[in-house]
Amino acid sequence: MLWRIFHRSISTTTTSRSKSFTYPQHIHRSPTAILESLNSCAQTDGGNPAYLFMDDPYLIPTSAHEKRQLSLSKASGKKAARWIMDRYSYAFFYDVAVPSIPSYFPNYTFDEKEFIEPNETTLYKLMNWNKIIKAYEIYKKCLDYKINISDACKYALFDLLCIYNSDNPMEILPPEEDWYRRELNETNQSGLIQRTWKDNGLAKQMFEELKLTATSEQKIRLYNSFASGLFKYNHAEKAMLIIDEMKQNNISLDLITYNYLLRSTSLIQGTYDTRWQFIIEYLNEMKQNSIQPNLRTFNSIFYTLRRCSLYERGPTLALSLLNEMRQYGIEPSLGTWAHIIMIFYPNDQIGYETKILPQIMDELEKQYELNGNQFQWRDIDDREFFANAMFKATVNCREVDL
């Protein structure tokens, strides 16, 4: 009996040694692979409040006033924490994040003593720190002291003056405060667009200075930047004068200027038909100049059609424009669909019988699956989609499933 057991153990050991063992190939996984797998298993409970309001069950707000108060309180707390970090920056030197996150550190404290000497290096430093007004002051000192400044530095400063309307960039607000402030602005403006361009600002002064010595290539950049800034801040009347001056001097428009021009059509033309004819005219001009439209171009046209509320041809033109867009190989973004929704549902009473919103959601569901279960941010108008879609699904479509 013992001999049989011993013989059996020897035979199994021999056979197991004879079999070759292959190691499995290494599977590269991201640092958040475990969290992603857990997230795919957990389902979102639609009955829960938004993550912003997750707190003690007794403190979860229920009314709109309580939600607004809690949101703005959290935004105030974030701003207070940021002020403490900036005020006592010496106490926040230990970095525990890997990789390091610069936004978690105190902001750089601007000291004017570091930028007393006027030169090109100082100009670039100030522009990198978004001190546009101070950079222009140093630029004027360089001109007074006859210090040589390269053309690249001059035009970089001019571009920033046009982008930020002759001022320093606005402070980035917490998302909670930005949401309610944007909602307040939409309520107060009553559909009217206000002109915010500074007429005799630094951008205008520098434009007149550079225009005297600019070459033909530099004039293209100079005029296009200035016209784009005028359109951006809704001074369409002055911008069209610049466009006419560009045509008289054979200065070509670039794609960015065309996009701003098409987006500002409602400020230039009065009636709906003349607006559309204006768009067709400049699209033909782009074709003659061999300028291919991009996603921003089409979204600008959709935005103009959206501004033509109650236009009978609006929905038909929007669908034809969507087909034209796909012929160019440009896929619609979330912002495109946001504009189309507002074209088909211009107010709370119109669009109940229209089935465009369910079709849009079906199309987006296909794109969502093709893009690996995610949406891509492709245009600045994309942020409007979810708010517009949820509002119209509730008010106009009145479908709970949607």
How would residue 265 be classed by pLDDT, with cut points 50, 70 and 90?
Answer: very high
Strand (E) or helix (H) holding 203: helix 202-213
Q: Between residues 248 and 346, which one has the greater pLDDT?
A: 248
What's the pTM?
A: 0.78
- Average pLDDT taken over every residue of the chain: 85
The answer to whether 314 and 308 have CB atoms below 8 angstroms apart is yes
Q: Which amino acid is located at 399 in the chain?
A: E
* Rg (alpha carbons) of the chain, rounded to whole number: 29
| Domains: count for the chain | 1
How would residue 354 be classed by pLDDT, with cut points 50, 70 and 90?
Answer: confident
The answer to whether 328 and 378 have CB atoms below 8 angstroms apart is no
**What spatial distance separates the first Cα and last Cα of the chain, rounded to whole Å?**
75
Q: Between residues 398 and 207, which one has the greater pLDDT?
A: 207
Q: Alpha helix locations (H) across 214-253?
A: 216-232, 236-248
190 pLDDT above the threshold of 60: no
Q: What is the pLDDT of residues 34-79, one digit of tens each?
A: 988 888 887 777 677 777 777 777 778 888 888 888 888 888 998 9
150 pLDDT above the threshold of 90: yes
Q: Between residues 187 and 319, which one has the greater pLDDT?
A: 319
Q: Please report whether residue 345 resides in a domain.
A: yes
Domain with 269 in it: 253-402
Q: What is the pLDDT of residues 87-103, one digit of tens each?
A: 888 887 777 787 888 77
Closest CA to 229 of 213, 247, 206: 206
C-alpha angle 19-21-22 in degrees, rounded to nearest 5:
140
Torsion of CA 331, 337, 339, 344, to 10 degrees: 120
DSSP 323-353: HHHHHTT----HHHHHHHHHHH--SSSS-SS
Please give the pLDDT value at position 154.
96
Q: What value does the mean pLDDT take over residues 287-291?
A: 94
Residue 125 C-alpha from the chain's centroid: 25
Phi/psi of residue 376, each to 5°?
-105, 135
Q: Please report whether residue 286 resides in a domain.
A: yes
Q: Which amino acid is located at 338 in the chain?
A: A
How would residue 192 be classed by pLDDT, with cut points 50, 70 and 90?
Answer: low
Q: Please report whether residue 87 resides in a domain.
A: no
Q: Please report whether residue 127 resides in a domain.
A: no
Share of the chain above pLDDT 70, in %: 87
Q: Between residues 158 and 368, which one has the greater pLDDT?
A: 158
Phi/psi of residue 330, each to 5°?
-105, 120
The answer to whether 93 and 202 have CB atoms below 8 angstroms apart is no
Q: Please report whether residue 343 resides in a domain.
A: yes
Please give the pLDDT value at position 7.
53
Q: Please report whether residue 290 resides in a domain.
A: yes
**Contacts of range 76-80, beta carbons closer than 8 Å, 24 or more positions apart:** 78/174, 79/174
Closest CA to 50 of 40, 61, 38: 61
Q: Between residues 177 and 253, which one has the greater pLDDT?
A: 253
How would residue 189 be classed by pLDDT, with cut points 50, 70 and 90?
Answer: very low
Q: What is the pLDDT of residues 356-377, one digit of tens each?
A: 888 888 888 888 888 877 888 8
Please give the pLDDT value at position 116.
67
The answer to whether 376 and 335 have CB atoms below 8 angstroms apart is no
The answer to whether 318 and 302 have CB atoms below 8 angstroms apart is yes
Please give the pLDDT value at position 279.
95
DSSP 370-396: HTTS-----SGGGGGHHHHHHHHIIII
What gap in Å lies between CA 225 and CA 251, rounded to an integer? 12
Please give the pLDDT value at position 188.
47
393 pLDDT above the threshold of 90: no
The answer to whether 30 and 36 have CB atoms below 8 angstroms apart is yes
Please give the pLDDT value at position 268.
92
What gap in Å lies between CA 73 and CA 59, rounded to an integer? 13
Please give the pLDDT value at position 136.
94
Q: What is the chain's length?
A: 402
Share of the chain above pLDDT 90, in %: 43
Please give the pLDDT value at position 253.
96
Q: Please report whether residue 179 resides in a domain.
A: no
CB atoms within 10 A of CB 276: 20
Q: Please report whether residue 158 resides in a domain.
A: no
Q: What value does the mean pLDDT take over residues 114-128?
A: 84
Q: What is the pLDDT of residues 5-45, one digit of tens each?
A: 445 555 555 554 556 777 788 888 888 889 888 888 877 77
Secondary structure class of 145 (helix, strand, coil): coil
